[in-house]
Structure 1
Amino acid sequence: MNKDIELRVQHRSSRLIIPDVEDSKEVGPIIDYADEPLLPLVDACRPLVPIIFNILAYVSSALQSTPDTPSDGLTRDESASIFLYTMEWEDEHRSLYSILNETLRTADREQLQPWYKYLKLLLTALVKIPCAPQMTVWRGIKKGLHLEFPRGTSIVWWSFSSCTTTLPVLENDLYLGYE
């Protein structure tokens, strides 16, 4: 596979695949974000300026793409916070979701402090969205974890996860592929 195609495949699969899960270590819950005030998206993201490339430009783009009164019943800032999470950054820069999920998986909870204001807004928005009916969802991991997580046990992921309800999506070479 040539480098250009390989990079596109890596970029495309990053939402559904966790490359490796070496951090089976215990990490504590995140509760301090709950004490943060609920702020507009631009203010909630200001602490992320030193962490995320061009974050305020992406915030502006997310807000411009979100109607003043979203049909989902959320405020504009709440809806835009979800939109911002889903956005891809320019190829040479890591997106918000990538950096946030990496930070959520670290044992050093101090690294999460700059994220608290954004997390308050994002989680406030997500809580307002109605739950989907119970179903099986799939998340790809390039490692055999079947012994660590027996069928029927509850699993807690310390990151937001993109999932699919269709297993063949993950069986596609673009996602799990061959090593």
Structure 2
Amino acid sequence: MAIANALFDTEDDEDTNNLRYVDIPYAANDIKQFLSIIMNSPLLPIEEAIKPLVHLIDDIATKVYIIKQKLTTDDTDDLTLDELAAIHLYIWEGSQPTKCIYYLLNEIIRHEFPEEFQLWHPYLNLLLTALGKLPSIGHHCIVYRGVRLCDLSNEYKDDGIYTWWTFGSCLRSLDQMKSPRFLGKQGVRTVFKIDCYSGKRLPLSEDDEIILTPGFHFQVVGKLRSLDDLNTIYIREISSSSTEIILPVPVVTTIEEPEEPLSLIVKTIPQGKSSMKSRKSLKNTTYRIIKMSKVLHVCSDHILELSGKRLRIDDLKHILNERLTQKITILNLSKTNLTKAKVKVIAEILRTNLTLIELNLSYNPLDNAG
């Protein structure tokens, strides 16, 4: 994006620019048939591909000319100059974002205007071909995409499977996404934390931009609302042919065998103080079981919320063994007064867990060793 912005002397307006990172994704109808037609069309030089768009985008031919003059064969890798220019034209930010390529193209996809969509076929073919040549980022790469002034939590159901048909620009850093340049730190916002493998890292992007192409298929694996009105939706990319629910891998815990067999000792408890202690111990145990049941009851299917709970190490072990065998993706253990012994228990239980994507240990008295 550095090249594209520098070419046209655009200003970074924090309120308007970077809109492609924070617009609403489109997850409605299937446009796969249109994309199939486009990808089977012959590739045209970019000067020809943009001709149908001249009346939509001011000075688009001039922009393409300048981009190609600035780019060199060293920038292209396996891409042609036309293909690389198509990418830079897409990510170009102007003073009016609603007149930029990325905005207009995604609007056409959202509103399904067949006649107008046909005007984009030659350019879209070049852009998709270019993105297809870029290497994918690989498995379990976490990227972020946001939406300003909007809570989309109710639009994405737990375990729901969706497909985004618009192009989606993402960032690798949550802190960067929450900066004033993008989502900001005030007001109602939604951020998608995306575990993906098919994203494309754009060449020469100053923001380490990852783009998700149309047809991005995913499942919702968790949701979380923070006190600063930031709503997080956790999603995981799945195969486009997949319709099954992602099931977690059961946690296997090992118990060391004692060196000698344990003997069963039957001890008679006399009446009196010992009996009172026994009843008190039983009462405390019953209370702890009821307390743990309430803790488990208030947790959602995907979030194990233990923040502020001062649990004994045995209770902590029981809860984690009980719940992490299910489909928990978020574990919040903030303000739980964790000790080194408790951290060791947590680490041992999580050793074989493959479903957890966020662990919060903040506000605990832990040092580097812990």
TM range (shorter): 0.7 to 0.9
Distance 1:139 1:107 in 2: 23
Choose which of 153, 165, 169 in structure 1 pairs with 2:172.
165
Please tell me whether the aligned partners of residues 41 and 118 of structure 1 are also in contact (alpha carbons under 8 angstroms): yes
Moved more, 123-132 or 61-70: 61-70
What's the C-alpha RMSD, in Å, of the aligned pairs? 2.5
Q: Which residue of 2 aligns with 1:95?
A: 100
* Pair 1:129-2:134 in alignment: yes
1:148, CA displacement in angstroms? 2.5
Please tell me whether the aligned partners of residues 138 and 165 of structure 1 are also in contact (alpha carbons under 8 angstroms): yes
Which structure is higher in strand share?
2
Q: Which residue of 1 aligns with 2:91?
A: 86
Structure 1, unaligned runs of 5 or more: 1-6
Please tell me whether the aligned partners of residues 69 and 75 of structure 1 are also in contact (alpha carbons under 8 angstroms): no
Deviations along 1:13-61, one digit per CA (max 9) or x if unpaired, are 412111x56x764353323212422011100101111111111011111
Choose which of 24, 29, 33 in structure 2 pairs with 1:26.
29
- Using a 3 Å threshold, how does the CA distance of structure 1 residues 42 and 69 change in structure 2: closer, same or farther? farther
Partner letter of residue 142 of structure 2?
A: T
Choose which of 30, 48, 51 in structure 1 pairs with 2:53.
48
Partner letter of residue 133 of structure 2?
A: K
Distance 2:130 2:182 in 1: 29
Alignment size in residue pairs: 171
Partner letter of residue 94 of structure 1?
A: K
Deviations along 1:93-150, one digit per CA (max 9) or x if unpaired, are 7211111111121132332100000011111111111111221211101322223224
Give the number of the structure with larger relative contact order, counting CA–CA contacts within 8 Å between residues 6 or more apart.
1
Partner letter of residue 10 of structure 1?
A: D
- Using a 3 Å threshold, how does the CA distance of structure 1 residues 38 and 125 change in structure 2: closer, same or farther? same
Partner letter of residue 167 of structure 1?
A: L
1:163, CA displacement in angstroms? 0.4
Partner letter of residue 100 of structure 2?
A: S
Which structure is higher in helix share?
1
1:159, CA displacement in angstroms? 1.6
Partner letter of residue 55 of structure 1?
A: I
Partner letter of residue 128 of structure 1?
A: K
SS of the residue aligned with 1:11?
coil
- Using a 3 Å threshold, how does the CA distance of structure 1 residues 153 and 39 change in structure 2: closer, same or farther? same
Partner letter of residue 141 of structure 1?
A: V
Q: Which residue of 2 aligns with 1:62?
A: 67
Choose which of 104, 120, 124 in structure 2 pairs with 1:115.
120
Distance 1:150 1:166 in 2: 25
SS of the residue aligned with 1:57?
helix
Choose which of 74, 82, 103 in structure 1 pairs with 2:79.
74
1:156, CA displacement in angstroms? 2.2
Distance 1:95 1:61 in 2: 16
Runs (4+) off by over 6 Å: none
Computing the radius of gyration over CA atoms, which structure comes out larger, 1 or 2? 2
Q: Which residue of 1 aligns with 2:162?
A: 155
Q: Percent sequence identity over matched residues?
A: 32
- Using a 3 Å threshold, how does the CA distance of structure 1 residues 114 and 161 change in structure 2: closer, same or farther? same
Deviations along 1:54-95, one digit per CA (max 9) or x if unpaired, are 110111112112214644211111111111111123448721
- Using a 3 Å threshold, how does the CA distance of structure 1 residues 13 and 129 change in structure 2: closer, same or farther? closer
- Using a 3 Å threshold, how does the CA distance of structure 1 residues 92 and 16 change in structure 2: closer, same or farther? closer
TM-score normalised by length of structure 2: 0.42
1:162, CA displacement in angstroms? 1.1
